Copies of this chain bind each other. A is one copy, B any other.
Amino acid sequence: MKTIAEYSADVESAIRSLEFPGGNLESLYGPIAYGLSAGGKRLRPVILLMGADAFGEAAGKALTPAVGIETFHNFTLLHDDVMDRSDVRRGRPTVHKKYGENAAILSGDTMLTLATEYVTDVDDDKLRKVLKTFDDMAIKVYEGQALDMDFETSDKTSLPEYMQMIEGKTGSLLGASAKIGAIIGGAGEKDADLMYDFGMAIGVAFQIQDDWLDTFGDPTTFGKPIGGDILNSKKTYLYLSGISEHPDYADALRAAMNMAPGESKIKTVTRLYEKLGIKESAAKAVAHYSSKAMTSLKKTSLGDEEKEAFKKLAEKLIGRKK
C-alpha cells in the first residue's frame, strides 16, 4: 500500500485532470471546477483508495470512484454554504459568493449527478452494490443536514438526535467511502460492512472530538478561536450530553447558554461543563468510538500491514492536537 500522502496526491492530480465542456457552458462548469480546486485533505477519496488497495490492489481501478466521492462531498459543502449563507471556505470566497446563488444551486445539482457517474465507474458485477451504498449514504447525509438545520430553531434537540445527525452528516460518508473502496477491491459482504462500520465510527469520533476541541482545545493549534460553539449557542455533544446526563443541571446549562455572547458566557458554560465532568465524559466518548472503529477493523480479514495503515489513518484523524 501507498502512504496517505501518496494517495492524496493521486486524488489531487486526478481532480486536476478532470475535463468539463467549455464553450457556452462556463457558467455551469466554472463553479464546479472552482469548488473542486479548493484542496483539503481529500480524506474520503483516500479512504476509498486505501480500501481498494487493501482488499485487492485495485486503487488504480478506484481512482474515478474516489474522485466521485470527493465530488459528492464538495457538492454538499457547496449547497450547505448556500443554506448557511457562508461567505468564506478555505480562505476563498464560497461558490455562491463568487458566482451567485443560482449558479451555486445548479452547479451543485450537476456535481451530484457527476458524482454518481464517477462513483459507478466500476465493473458491472459491482455496480449494484456500489450504487446502493452511494445512494443510501447520500440520503443519510441529507437527513443529517436536515436535523442540523432543525437544531438551530428547536429547543427540544436530544442527544440521540444529535448522534443521528453526526452519523448522517459525517459518519455515513466516511463509512460509504471505506465500503465502496472495499467492494471495488473485491471484499466480501462481511468485510465491506465492517469497513463501513470502521469509517462510520471514525466519523463519529472525529465529530465529537471537534466539539471537544472547540471548547477545550489548545488555541495555538486548533485553528479557530476557542469557544465559538458556545458563543453561537450551538447544540454540541458537550451541551446535549450535559442536558441528558445531568437533568438537575439542565436549567443551569440552558440559562448559561442563553447568556449574551461574550467572554463571560464562554467562561460560565465551560466551568459548568468542567464541574459536571463533561470534559472527561466527552473525551471518553471519543475514545469509545475510536476503539469501536478499531474493533471493526480487527474483525476484517485484512492482513496486519493493511490494518496498520487504516489504524494510522484513524490516529492521524482523531489523535489531533488537543
Contacts and interface: CB of A to CB of B under 8 A. Distances in A.
A283 interface: no
A184 interface: no
A24 B161 contact: yes
Contact of A24 (B28, B79, B135, B150): B150
A296 interface: no
Interface stretch (A104-112, A226-234, A284-292): A104-112
Interface string A20-43: 010011011000000000000000
A313 interface: no
Interface string A122-148: 001001100100010011001101110
A25 B128 contact: no
Contacts of A112: 109, 112-113
A167 B145 CA distance: 34
A102 B83 contact: yes
A139 B110 contact: yes
A102 B147 contact: no
A116 interface: yes
Report which residue of A24, A116, A120, A164 has the largest number of chain B beta carbons within 10 angstroms of its beta carbon: A24
A294 interface: no
B161 A139 contact: no
A182 interface: no
A6 to B, nearest CB: 31
Contact of A110 (B24, B110, B142, B161): B142
19 contacts: A21-B143, A24-B161, A28-B146, A79-B106, A82-B105, A83-B102, A83-B105, A83-B106, A102-B149, A105-B105, A106-B145, A106-B146, A108-B109, A110-B142, A113-B139, A116-B116, A116-B135, A120-B131, A124-B128
